[in-house]
Amino acid sequence: MPSLRELRRKLKSVKSTQQITKAMKMVAAARLRRAQGRILGARPFANKMTTLLSDVLWQVADANGDGVLSPDELQHPLLWGNPAGPRGLLLITADRGLCGGFNTSLIKKGLEFLRENKDSSVELMTVGRKARDYFRRVHAVIRHEYVGIFNQLTYSQAEVIGHDVMEFFVQGRAKDVTLIYTEFKSAIQQNVVTVPLLPLSPPTRPAMARHAAPFVYEPARSQLLEALFPRYLKAQVFRALLESYASEMGARMTAMENASKNAQELISGLTLTANKIRQAAITKEISELVGGAEALQ
């Protein structure tokens, strides 16, 4: 059985660890609230972007007004991939750990995608230090890597990632680009999702398109459409980054809460054991004193 001094030293160490986990939980909760606010603020922009793109695309592409967009009418390079080209994978993880199985689930999903496409050429693009470090260890070829962006996450970082993805897709004559990230549901629920990023799917025809009067656009609708497609893609990347960051904070908050509870259970067990040892030592001393007194009589 360990000595009382060893137990007290271990008890002090566990209490210090519990203070750290509680502090990390509070920091993650504060960052999660801010991340949720940014997600709610970005949704109206994304919705309006989709509505505008849909309206302009249908007015420009649907020249005959039949309500169907044929391949001849859709000529934008982001709408069509090269069937014989390589595939792209954009994997978004965190820069740090201590967030439960958050990073492990994403890396497993990325490995699953690579195994399913082992007969095809796959270009890997990673966001987050955890994905980069893992795929470096397994000697995978990484086309682009982005680390340290979640400390100050802004739209400009999504623009850089979106530009690199578009350059790979258009100039590299790629077949498609797949995005793997974590979708935020709540502080205790985050879902790893795999979604196609490129080629872009044409938005659905607006419900009031046939009855509404055509808008007058400045500049021309064709020029506006050329500018909207890249912005639409970058908005999707930015939304995925925000969702991933909020999911990371939720996972870290949950992990630190569980760690604090486990530390409290360990503290209770160590305290009970220490009290038993101390009580046994006191009982032994009393017994020796009583025995010595009786021997003197």
Contacts of residue 90, defined as CB under 8 A and 6 or more positions apart, other chains included, come to 125, 127, 161, 165, 177, 178, 179, 180, 197, 237
User: For residue 295, how many other CB atoms are within 10 A of its CB?
Assistant: 7
Provide the residue type at 291 as one letter. Answer: G
Measured CA to CA, the distance from residue 7 to residue 157 in angstroms comes to 50
Catalytic residue among 53, 90, 99, 127: 99
43 is a catalytic site residue: no
Residues tagged active-site: 99
